[in-house]
Chain A
Amino acid sequence: MLAMEKIEITDEIVESHGLSKEEYEKVLQILGREPNMVELGIFSVMWSEHCSYKSSRVHLKNFPTEGPQVIQGPGENAGVVDIGDGLAVAFKMESHNHPSFIEPYQGAATGVGGIMRDVFTMGARPVANLNSLRFGNLDLPKHKYLLKGVVAGIAGYGNCMGVPTVGGEVYFDDCYNGNILVNAFTLGIVKSDKIFKGYASGIGNPVIYVGSKTGRDGIHGATMASEEFDEGSEEKRPTVQVGDPFTEKLLLEACLELMKTDYIIGIQDMGAAGLTSSSFEMASRAGTGIEMYLDEVPRREEGMTPYEIMLSESQERMLMVVKKGCEDKVRAIFDKWDLDCAVVGKVTDDGIMRLMEKGVAVAELPIDPLAEGAPVYSRPMSRPEYLDELSSLDLSTLKIPSDMNQVLVDLLDSPNIGSRRWIYNQYDHMVRTDTVTLPGSDAAVIRVKGTDKGVAMTVNCNSRYCYLDPYVGSMIAVAENARNLVCSGAKPLAITDCLNFGNPEKPEIMWQFAEAVRGLSDACKAFDTPVVSGNVSLYNETKGEAIYPTPTVGMVGLLENVNLHSTQYFKNKGDIIVLLGKNRSELGGSEYLKIVHGLVKGPPPVLDLKLERLVQKTCLEAIAAGIVESSHDCAEGGLAVALSEGCISGDKPMGANIELYNEGQRWDALLFGESQSRIVLSLNRRHIDKLEEIACNNETPLEVLGEVGGDHLLIDDKINVAIEDLQKAWRESLESRVS
């Protein structure tokens, strides 16, 4: 019998724990009795959407997850990919959307803290962070506040940890007015034969708790992240955790020091659903049970109940199983770093989680039915009816602007295109002295000390495309990441993803989700970049209004020789500027259409996977041949914006003189259309033959556009703007809107 004060489990209590009637029936079936409050709380978090993936699981299993480069695919704390020389990279991206909307600084900070723990749990030292952010309209004071808070939170945590934040992306759109997105990515480096996993193996081995003490913060954070927002969401502030990056820095160093020994059997970070999910998952993977002594859990406050201890999401904590007899040696390492370290349980053979308080059991739950037997939903799906109207776009009804100069300046001034300097200058992006390509180019590149190699990484998603066509939009997210990596000189290896969507109980949202997963899968197969880790964030919805489907993709690539990395800005006067790929007349979903015509409409750009691969192959071979001075992907704002960025994003701004081949296209489409599979290169005149040879071998369309020089950007008789005017609009875009 369980010794607990008997509280009657009413329908209201079940509902307030986010469990449906059917789910509660399943609880009763598994236990063969009524749960007590502790047990109900555990079911509630373990079966929350956030922890159980109950709506998404049936789709996620279609992802390609294997390849010769993959050492660890999805299911662990982070994915691991081989980079040769006995080394591997561990990486993952995770969302912290709901808490960041409620409390931007702590929400974002703890998101960064959580993802770094996921990576160093694997035995990897985190060496780079990225982030992908979405805010609402910057004219709203609330969103200026959210942007400032989130950026300060990411900076506060990452800078203190000494892990550089080397890149990222940010977009602003009204669809995020009620739900912002904060997706944090961390990459670490690990020896391929020293990877740690979350297994509670070895009957009798001690279960050890290390790191911060447990407090009452973040209780039910996972459940909160599995619901829509309404009027009362602000009152959920106590469910947001508070971060302490200093303690996490100590935890990082102590764990890495411990990992040099052979004492650890398994280790797992206490993230969402804290002690509950870490202990259940470790035991479930190993097929064991755990007996846990709650009196031994280090606590911040007096009088905490078992319910609170098990559901707290206090940060900077780890659970590990070590070899019996090594307890004192483990403790010595944590003593050195002034961290709590307590034996809180032992591994058992009965497959039961038994929670003990003062010598009596306060909960007894079978592990596998709870961890693996979570409900799985094949939710109904239907294509939204509004798509027919949305995806039609008759270009003949659009007036072509007379002043293309003004359009270009307006686009550079768009917060979706302008310089991100105001953000990345608040992040320490140089600590560790590995950052070879600083923020502000297509992809960040870090060197790997002790080798000739470099690792490139990037995050991308154009959610407007995904709204208009989630299948194509998601494919483009993968393709653009790959193109960005290739532009930096890296060969793409694998991806991680954060799938941010609305309420999955609505058939239209579930359809978006399924289409996005299908698009990501098809594109990942085409680029040979399997999915190795990721996370799903649903219920990004407020008062019934969902965000655009936002399947953010983070991709990692490898440079065999880091010296051959490339950046996006023009380097020398007189260099020839070349376009790889084809200009089509496409304006659907473009930033131009939104900014100039106020429309979000049309089919997104076509993605021809074959052409995309050929363009990327040509670019990569040209960079490897050492003939490329700059390489830049054409993305939002099209060719004119890509050329402008080539002119203004470097240390020494320079102009360009361009003449475009126009076979009867609309000028606005040619200049600002967002056709895919296009890369702008610059190179010395003497290498042009070599480039043509490479392009020809790869059947890649190539057009010489003009040359670098002067102090204006000139494009035919359509664009003639002084570089300093372009630079001013671009540089001040964000800064002028937040201050």
Chain B
Amino acid sequence: MKFGVIVFPGSNCDHDCYHVAKHVMGQETDYIWHKGRPSLESYDCVIIPGGFSYGDYLRPGAIARYSPITDEIKKYAEGGGLVIGICNGFQILIETGLLPGVLMRNRSLKFICEDVYLKVESSDTPFTSEYSADEVVKIPIAHHDGNYFADMDTLKKLKQNNQIIFRYSTADGETSVEANPNGSLLNIAGICNEKRNVLGMMPHPERCAEGILGNEDGKKIFESIVKRVMQPC
């Protein structure tokens, strides 16, 4: 299969996502520079990596939304292509409207980098099929603006459609206030769109996909993607 990793000016987890896709998963992988308008059709999955696209100036993701590649990502997603946005990638997906809600400043108003526990709310996506439902995984966060907010109707819809994929939890799977690092409503750490082909998440699975880093809990996301592409259901 073939992964494409989008590179905006200021992306800085592009190398990390490329490394996991190419060297850990052993799949063909390209960087895709944001300026051209390359067709994304030849890709089986597009990754929008973390970082500080356009320096996070104005608001994270707000400028990347107007970059030429973003129209192509929209087209690709609307056509059913798999898109995963991690951290700044999630913020960009929200700004483009591919995912609902907003990501506000963390409750502490500080950047937070630490391991957190997540409860996998749904394994019914192309990105999470290798997890079991209600599995608790440890994946690090590293962001200043990950405080998920949406109006009541949106939240209701997300719940009804089973679009909430990851929630911050304790090691025992309690989605409590204490387990919430940034103030997100319903402890939301990741959501997908209605068609379930676009996933946005604040935690960084690419940072915990190899034994040498002491944690491989994030690898199953990439394994799920590869499995879905190689053995379409």
A and B are interacting partners: yes
> Which A residues form the contact surface with B (CB < 8 A)?
152, 155-156, 159-162, 244-247, 249-250, 336-338, 424-433, 435-436, 447, 449, 562-563
Whether the pair B140, A249 counts as a contact (CB closer than 8 A) is no
Known interface pairs A162-B51, A430-B142, A432-B15; A246-B10 also in contact (CB < 8 Å): yes
Mark interface residues in B54-80 (1 if CB within 8 Å of A CB, else 0). 111100000000000000000000000
Whether the pair A426, B113 counts as a contact (CB closer than 8 A) is yes
A-B contact pairs, 27 of them (CB 8 A): A155-B111, A159-B111, A160-B55, A244-B55, A245-B55, A246-B10, A246-B52, A246-B55, A246-B57, A249-B9, A249-B10, A249-B12, A249-B52, A249-B55, A250-B9, A337-B9, A425-B113, A427-B111, A429-B113, A430-B142, A431-B12, A431-B16, A432-B15, A433-B20, A433-B210, A449-B19, A562-B212
Instruction: Name B213's contact: one of A159, A162, A433 (CB within 8 Å).
Output: A433
Q: Which residues of A contact B52 (CB under 8 A)?
A: 159-160, 162, 245-246, 249
Whether the pair A162, B111 counts as a contact (CB closer than 8 A) is no
Which of A160, A244, A430 gathers the greatest number of chain B CB atoms within 10 Å? A430
Known interface pairs A159-B142, A246-B52, A246-B55; A432-B16 also in contact (CB < 8 Å): yes
Known interface pairs A159-B111, A428-B111, A428-B142; A433-B207 also in contact (CB < 8 Å): yes
Q: Which residues of A contact B54 (CB under 8 A)?
A: 246
Known: A246-B52, A431-B207. 7 other contacts (CB 8 A): A162-B51, A162-B52, A427-B111, A430-B142, A431-B13, A432-B15, A449-B19
A430–B213 Cα distance when bound, in Å, is: 10
Known interface pairs A246-B55, A250-B9, A430-B207; A436-B112 also in contact (CB < 8 Å): no
A244–B19 Cα distance when bound, in Å, is: 28
Q: Which 5 A-B pairs have the closest CB atoms?
A: A162-B12, A246-B55, A160-B52, A428-B142, A433-B16
A535–B205 Cα distance when bound, in Å, is: 39
A471–B123 Cα distance when bound, in Å, is: 62
Whether the pair B113, A427 counts as a contact (CB closer than 8 A) is yes
Which of B10, B15, B57, B114 gathers the greatest number of chain A CB atoms within 10 Å? B10
Which residues B7-63 have CB closer than 8 A to chain A? 9-10, 12-13, 15-16, 19-20, 35, 50-52, 54-57
- B206 contacts A by Cβ under 8 Å: yes
Q: Which residues of B contact A244 (CB under 8 A)?
A: 55
Instruction: Name B204's contact: one of A155, A160, A430 (CB within 8 Å).
Output: A430
- B156 contacts A by Cβ under 8 Å: no
Nearest CB on A from B72, distance (A): 18
Q: Which residues of B contact A426 (CB under 8 A)?
A: 110-113
Nearest CB on A from B233, distance (A): 30
Nearest CB on B from A254, distance (A): 10
Nearest CB on B from A624, distance (A): 17
Which residues B185-215 have CB closer than 8 A to chain A? 204, 206-207, 210, 212-214
Q: Which residues of B contact A159 (CB under 8 A)?
A: 52, 111, 113, 142, 144
Interface size class of B (residues with CB under 8 A): 20 to 34
A565–B189 Cα distance when bound, in Å, is: 32
Nearest CB on A from B115, distance (A): 9
A429–B50 Cα distance when bound, in Å, is: 14
A538–B41 Cα distance when bound, in Å, is: 60
Nearest CB on B from A167, distance (A): 13
Question: Which residue on chain B has the smallest CB distance to residue A246?
Answer: B55
Question: Which residue on chain A has the smallest CB distance to residue B171?
Answer: A651
Which of A156, A424, A428, A432 gathers the greatest number of chain B CB atoms within 10 Å? A428
A245–B212 Cα distance when bound, in Å, is: 30
Q: Which residues of B contact A563 (CB under 8 A)?
A: 212
A643–B113 Cα distance when bound, in Å, is: 27
Q: Which residues of A contact B110 (CB under 8 A)?
A: 152, 425-426
> Which B residues form the contact surface with A (CB < 8 A)?
9-10, 12-13, 15-16, 19-20, 35, 50-52, 54-57, 110-114, 140, 142, 144, 204, 206-207, 210, 212-214
A15–B47 Cα distance when bound, in Å, is: 59
Q: Which residues of A contact B112 (CB under 8 A)?
A: 425-426
Known interface pairs A338-B9, A425-B113, A426-B111; A447-B207 also in contact (CB < 8 Å): no
Q: Which residues of B contact A436 (CB under 8 A)?
A: 212-214
Question: Which residue on chain B has the smallest CB distance to residue A450?
Answer: B23
A336–B9 Cα distance when bound, in Å, is: 10
Nearest CB on B from A563, distance (A): 7
Nearest CB on B from A198, distance (A): 27
Question: Which residue on chain B has the smallest CB distance to residue A436?
Answer: B212
A447–B16 Cα distance when bound, in Å, is: 13
Q: Which residues of B contact A245 (CB under 8 A)?
A: 52, 55
A159–B56 Cα distance when bound, in Å, is: 11
Nearest CB on A from B223, distance (A): 17
Q: Which residues of B contact A430 (CB under 8 A)?
A: 113, 140, 142, 204, 207
Q: Which residues of B contact A424 (CB under 8 A)?
A: 113
A692–B15 Cα distance when bound, in Å, is: 45
Q: Which residues of A contact B35 (CB under 8 A)?
A: 336
Q: Which residues of A contact B55 (CB under 8 A)?
A: 160, 244-247, 249
Whether the pair A425, B114 counts as a contact (CB closer than 8 A) is yes
Instruction: Name B212's contact: one of A152, A247, A250, A447 (CB within 8 Å).
Output: A447
Question: Which residue on chain B has the smallest CB distance to residue A437?
Answer: B214
Nearest CB on A from B196, distance (A): 27
A431–B208 Cα distance when bound, in Å, is: 11
Q: Which residues of B contact A247 (CB under 8 A)?
A: 55
Q: Which residues of A contact B113 (CB under 8 A)?
A: 159, 424-430
Question: Which residue on chain A has the smallest CB distance to residue B56?
Answer: A160
Which of B12, B52, B56, B114 gathers the greatest number of chain A CB atoms within 10 Å? B12
Q: Which residues of A contact B204 (CB under 8 A)?
A: 430
Q: Which residues of A contact B12 (CB under 8 A)?
A: 160-162, 249, 431
A425–B16 Cα distance when bound, in Å, is: 20
A337–B35 Cα distance when bound, in Å, is: 10
Known interface pairs A160-B10, A160-B55, A428-B142; A435-B213 also in contact (CB < 8 Å): yes
Question: Which residue on chain A has the smallest CB distance to residue B55?
Answer: A246
A432–B207 Cα distance when bound, in Å, is: 8
Whether the pair A433, B111 counts as a contact (CB closer than 8 A) is no
Known interface pairs A162-B12, A246-B55; A433-B206 also in contact (CB < 8 Å): yes
Question: Which residue on chain B has the smallest CB distance to residue A245?
Answer: B55
A426–B213 Cα distance when bound, in Å, is: 20
Nearest CB on B from A57, distance (A): 39
A245–B56 Cα distance when bound, in Å, is: 10
A54–B216 Cα distance when bound, in Å, is: 53
A737–B46 Cα distance when bound, in Å, is: 45
Question: Which residue on chain A has the smallest CB distance to residue B20?
Answer: A433
Nearest CB on A from B144, distance (A): 8
Nearest CB on B from A251, distance (A): 11
Nearest CB on B from A439, distance (A): 9
A433–B207 Cα distance when bound, in Å, is: 5
Whether the pair B19, A433 counts as a contact (CB closer than 8 A) is yes
Question: Which residue on chain B has the smallest CB distance to residue A439?
Answer: B113
A152–B110 Cα distance when bound, in Å, is: 8
Q: Which residues of B contact A156 (CB under 8 A)?
A: 111
Q: Which residues of B contact A425 (CB under 8 A)?
A: 110, 112-114
Known interface pairs A160-B56, A249-B52; A431-B142 also in contact (CB < 8 Å): yes
A152–B108 Cα distance when bound, in Å, is: 13
Nearest CB on A from B89, distance (A): 14
Q: Which residues of B contact A162 (CB under 8 A)?
A: 12-13, 51-52
Question: Which residue on chain A has the smallest CB distance to residue B144?
Answer: A159
Nearest CB on B from A56, distance (A): 36
A435–B10 Cα distance when bound, in Å, is: 21
Nearest CB on A from B227, distance (A): 22
Nearest CB on A from B54, distance (A): 7
Q: Which residues of B contact A246 (CB under 8 A)?
A: 9-10, 52, 54-57
Q: Which residues of B contact A250 (CB under 8 A)?
A: 9-10
A447–B212 Cα distance when bound, in Å, is: 8
Question: Which residue on chain A has the smallest CB distance to residue B204?
Answer: A430
A670–B30 Cα distance when bound, in Å, is: 60
A336–B54 Cα distance when bound, in Å, is: 14
Q: Which residues of B contact A431 (CB under 8 A)?
A: 12-13, 16, 50, 142, 207
A433–B16 Cα distance when bound, in Å, is: 6
